[in-house]
């Protein structure tokens, strides 16, 4: 009879195949040195492929579960990137959360990239950088929201289709064709301030006002919670 661990490994194998089939190509930001950025936040399925390949066990897994804020930070038993809210999720296309800054960076390096700087993240999230963007986007325009002229279509605490995190690609595509640069989950950036690292974009726990470009939050680098995920950027290959 298979054990729960065997079942989890089998699930990871299935999710790994899903990741290879469903992962969209990064978006090329023509006006930002040709930098490429993930179209969506890194998903459970994508992180599962990495975990299988590297044998990674995250701190949330080793230390009893991640954190949720309920009048103070509360550890939630069993909450990990595989089970963001403690129970098996309905889809492996939810953002991977409960990951420290170092764990997010390690994934990006494994995938051939890195975490974005706050400036890169902010520019990609608010200024249209594609050489031929589709309507209604205009090249070189900086928008007030990551979703364009209004926050409509983002996953915030305001009334919408999602009570908590939304699957990637479920919300409206925004500037540069990117999803969830504002709201859904905070995203780790590369910037450091002592033992803290910067997070960008707000999350589903906050109203749309937290989606503005000047909103950020410094968090301990070794922190992990249900509200924090990430995406990667990829530097252009230099021609010899």
Along the 240 residues of the chain, how does pLDDT read in single tens digits? 333 333 343 444 444 444 444 577 899 998 888 999 999 999 999 999 999 999 999 999 999 999 999 999 999 999 999 999 999 999 999 999 999 999 999 999 999 999 999 999 999 999 999 999 999 999 999 999 999 999 999 999 988 889 999 999 999 999 999 999 999 999 999 999 999 999 999 999 999 998 999 999 999 999 999 999 999 999 997 655
Peptide linkage before 136 cis (omega within 30 of 0): yes
State whether residue 196 is helix, strand or coil: strand
pLDDT at 3: 38
CA–CA distance, 86 with 76 (Å, rounded to integer): 8
pLDDT at 231: 98
CB-based contacts of 129: which residues, under 8 Å, 6+ apart?
29, 30, 31, 32, 123, 139, 176
CA–CA distance, 104 with 158 (Å, rounded to integer): 28
33 Rama class: left (phi>0) / alpha (psi -120 to 50) / beta:
left
226 Rama class: left (phi>0) / alpha (psi -120 to 50) / beta:
alpha
List the CATH code of the domain at 4-234. Answer: 3.90.1580.10
| CA angle (153, 159, 160) in 5-degree steps | 40
Tokens of 70: 């309920």
pLDDT at 35: 95
CA–CA distance, 134 with 148 (Å, rounded to integer): 13
pLDDT at 6: 36
Tokens of 233: 């950027």
Report the DSSP pairing between strands 35-37 and 67-69: unpaired
CA–CA distance, 41 with 21 (Å, rounded to integer): 16
Q: What is the Cα Rg of the chain in Å?
A: 17
């Amino acid at each position: 009879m298979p054990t729960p661990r065997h079942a989890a490994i089998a699930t990871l194998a299935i999710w790994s195949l899903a990741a290879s089939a469903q992962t969209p190509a990064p978006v090329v930001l023509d006006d930002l040195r040709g930098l490429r950025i993930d179209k969506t936040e890194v998903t459970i399925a994508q992180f599962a492929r990495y975990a299988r390949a590297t044998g990674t066990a995250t701190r949330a897994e080793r230390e009893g579960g991640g954190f949720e804020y309920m009048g103070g930070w509360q550890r939630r038993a069993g909450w990990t990137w595989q089970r963001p809210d403690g129970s098996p999720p309905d889809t492996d296309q939810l953002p991977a959360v409960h990951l420290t800054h170092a764990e997010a960076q390690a994934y990006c390096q494994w995938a051939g990239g890195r975490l974005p700087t706050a400036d890169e993240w902010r520019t990609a999230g608010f200024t249209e950088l594609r050489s031929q963007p589709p309507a209604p986007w205009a090249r070189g325009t900086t928008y007030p929201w990551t979703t364009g002229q209004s926050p409509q279509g983002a996953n915030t605490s305001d009334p919408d289709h999602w009570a908590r995190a939304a699957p990637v690609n479920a919300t409206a595509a925004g500037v540069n064709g990117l999803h969830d640069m504002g709201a859904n989950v905070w995203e780790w950036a590369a910037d450091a301030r002592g033992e803290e690292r910067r997070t960008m974009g707000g999350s589903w726990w906050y109203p749309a006002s937290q989606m503005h470009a000047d909103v950020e939050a410094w968090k301990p680098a070794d922190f992990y919670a249900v509200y924090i995920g990430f995406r990667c950027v990829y530097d252009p290959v230099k021609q010899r």
